[in-house]
Amino acid sequence: MHLAAINIADKLIPIWRGSFRCEPTDDKETWDWAVLKGRVWQDHGKAVADATPYLPGSFDRPPRNPAQKINSGYKAWEFLLYLFGLGPAILYGVLPDVYWKNFCKLVRGIRIMQQHKILASDLCEAHEMLAQFEKEFELLYYQRRVDRLHFMRPWAHSLGHLAPETITKGPPICSSQWTMERTIGNLGREIRSHSQPYANLSERGVRRCQVNALKVMIPTLDPPTDTLPRCSVDLGHGYVLLTKRERTPHHLLEHEANAMVSYLNTQGLDIVPTQCPRVTRWARLRLPNGQIARSSWKENDMTRMPRMARNVKLSLNERTHFGEVQFYFQIHVNNIIKTLALVSLYSPPNYQLLQESYHTLYSCTYQGNDALKLVDVSTIQSVIAMVPHKLPGSLELRFFLVEKPGLDVAQIAGHIDNDEDGDEDEDLWID
């Protein structure tokens, strides 16, 4: 998906900065989309850099400050997270509304196309979004003017072929350049001869092929890679509890006990908070997709704050929710050992923003102890980033969703609170 990562970024960012070539018959003063200039560009770059602590380590390399580093070897993956992860939120209220909505259509289409598994209905949506983006891009920026013909590049036309070609060739991410580039990087690091680097590189390649052939013929030569760490607990279906673990059980706090009571009541057990059993907390959980979800219990105790990995996407009653994991633990319920997570759920996303951004900007509020819920760990689908932000003209601290490219994108379906002032709710269904 280098198309999305580099080609698109090399076009859109210079246009928004007003640094694109302007013909003598054109006038940059009429470029109302060129807003990333001066202080606005510096603040924009700072917003990108400030998101780094909230992007989990499983997201790989976070984007650096583009105002300082965009010409210093900015990587394709950084562009991917910058534009298609953070973009809809950090550009909201910066780009004029019509250009922002056009950009959100591009983001929606690319996010769907980056998945390893794409439903036919999602593929149709992605094709529609990308086709609309391309048409609107010509009308908004290029405006069918000869002196702006250089605004149009081959990648804009390629977008219309992504979805149809996926039907015959599979998801683009499965045939992207990431694997080849990783191999080139690995082999490059093995070069030890500066006088004959290419001969040395060829020899390293031959040796790697020989080792791989031996491993195929004698599988026992290849050590297993699925071994579990010491003191971990295999929960089945790809879920694994990981240390650290409390040495002794402890009593739950009042708000935690209330969440425990609510859960046990749904299991047919009638207890009161004072009867809640003590629990032994666990710090981490490995998910089937390979990500490791941490918890606020241990992350808050770390002297050096890591990149936050305690926010997760959950599937509860066939609906998608986002939450912050407090800790994990195991408990006997009706003679069955259950592994649970105490999660503080975020509010439903702002419905108006969700609609206007074509489901690319999920802006929620953190509810803390007011929305604690016990969930089975099997409901956790992936580790996500919830990055703090404020809407233009508002002082309320909100958090927007960023998912790792390649994983299934969030699909909100069910009851959405459409009333920001807390009045009556409406049942709104989002595909």
Check the CA dihedral 288-291-297-301 and report its sign: positive
- Output the six-digit token pair for 340: 């649970």
Please tell me the distance from the alpha carbon of residue 227 to that of residue 229, in angstroms, as a whole number: 7
Residues 149-152: contacts with CB within 8 Å, 24+ apart? 150/20, 150/21, 151/11, 151/15, 151/20
Whether residue 417 has pLDDT greater than 60: no
For residue 342, name the pLDDT band (cuts at 50, 70, 90). very high
- Output the six-digit token pair for 7: 């080609």
**Residue 251: partners with Cβ closer than 8 Å, 6 or more residues away:** 276, 278
Average pLDDT over residues 240-257: 93
State pTM to two decimals: 0.88
For residue 5, name the pLDDT band (cuts at 50, 70, 90). low
| Range name among 158-167, 297-306, 347-356, 417-426 with the lowest pLDDT average | 417-426
- Output the six-digit token pair for 376: 């089975």
Average pLDDT over residues 256-272: 89
The pLDDT mean for the chain works out to 89
**Residue 150: partners with Cβ closer than 8 Å, 6 or more residues away:** 20, 21
Q: Which amino acid is at 74?
A: Y
Whether residue 102 has pLDDT greater than 60: yes
| Range name among 68-82, 178-192, 290-304 with the lowest pLDDT average | 178-192
Whether residue 427 has pLDDT greater than 80: no
Amino acid 423: pLDDT? 36
Secondary structure of residue 383 in the 3-state scheme:
strand
CA distances to 92, 96, 146 from 99, in Å:
10, 6, 21
Secondary structure of residue 299 in the 3-state scheme:
helix
Average pLDDT over residues 31-58: 96
Amino acid 415: pLDDT? 36
For residue 419, name the pLDDT band (cuts at 50, 70, 90). very low
Whether residue 304 has pLDDT greater than 60: yes
Share of the chain above pLDDT 90, in %: 67
Please tell me the distance from the alpha carbon of residue 271 to that of residue 258, in angstroms, as a whole number: 10
| Range name among 189-203, 318-332, 378-392 with the lowest pLDDT average | 189-203
Amino acid 182: pLDDT? 79
Please tell me the distance from the alpha carbon of residue 425 to that of residue 142, in angstroms, as a whole number: 43
State the Cα angle at 159 between 157 and 162, rounded to 5°: 125
Whether residue 114 has pLDDT greater than 60: yes
Amino acid 64: pLDDT? 95
Amino acid 426: pLDDT? 33
For residue 3, name the pLDDT band (cuts at 50, 70, 90). low
Amino acid 288: pLDDT? 93
pLDDT tens digits along 189-208: 888 888 999 999 999 999 99
Whether residue 331 has pLDDT greater than 90: yes
Whether residue 92 has pLDDT greater than 50: yes
For residue 420, name the pLDDT band (cuts at 50, 70, 90). very low
Whether residue 224 has pLDDT greater than 90: no
- Output the six-digit token pair for 102: 């056009």
Whether residue 2 has pLDDT greater than 70: no
